[in-house]
Amino acid sequence: MMCDIEGRAAFVEYKGLHQYDLHDLVRCQPEGAEEEIPMELRLKNVEVQLSTQGKSLRDLETQLKNHEKEIHERLTRIEEMLIAVLKVSGKS
C-alpha cells in the first residue's frame, strides 16, 4: 500500500516531524500498476487537448477584437466631444 497524501496535509509534531501513523488524514490505496498507453491513444489525447486550446485561443482572439473595436468607438466619441468643446470655447 502507498499513501496518496505525499506529506501535503497532515498534523505536524512540535519538532516539525511528520508522523503518518498518528493521524487519520492519510488515505491509503493499493499501488497502481504502470500500464503502457498505446501511441494511438496518446496521439488522440494530444489532439483533443490541442483542439480545446485552439478553440479557447480563437474565443480569446474574438473577445480581444471586440474589445479593441469598443475602445476605438469610445476614443472616437471622446475625440468628437473634445472637438465640440473646443469649438464652443473658441466662440466665447
> pLDDT (tens digit, 9 = 90+) per residue, 24-76?
554 555 666 778 888 999 999 999 888 888 888 899 999 999 999 999 999 99
- Cα(46)–Cα(51) distance, integer angstroms: 9
Question: Per-residue pLDDT for 4 more than 70?
Answer: no
Query: CA angle at residue 83 from 82 to 85, to 5 degrees?
Result: 60
2 Cβ contact partners less than 8 Å away, ≥ 6 residues apart: 28, 29, 31
Mean per-residue pLDDT, 74-84: 96
- Global pTM reads 0.45
Spans of all domains in the chain: 1-32, 36-92
> pLDDT (tens digit, 9 = 90+) per residue, 7-24?
544 444 434 555 555 555
